[in-house]
Amino acid sequence: GGAKRPGIVHRIDKDTSGLLVVAKSDRALQGLAEQFAAHSVAREYRALVHGVPDAGDPRLAGLRGVRFEPGGVLCLTTLIDRHRTDRQKQAVCFDRGRRAVTRARLLERFGDPPAAAHLSCRLETGRTHQIRVHLAYAGFGLIGDPVYGGTRRLSHRAVGPEGDSAAAAYTHQALQAAELGIVPPQTRADQRFAAPMPADMATLRAVL
As a whole number of angstroms, the distance between CA 136 and CA 42 comes to 23
- Give which of 125, 113, 132, 151 is closest to 48, Cα–Cα: 132
Q: Please tell me the distance from the alpha carbon of residue 97 to that of residue 101, in angstroms, as a whole number.
A: 13
Nearest to 35 by CA among 182, 166, 156, 148: 182
Q: What is the DSSP string of 49-112?
A: EES---TT-HHHHTSTTEEEETTTEEEEEEEEEE-SS-TTSEEEESSSSEEEEEEEEEEEEETT
Q: Are 29 and 7 in contact (CB under 8 A)?
A: yes
The question of whether 164 is a catalytic residue gets the answer: no
d(CA 39, CA 113): 38
Q: Active-site residue numbers?
A: 13
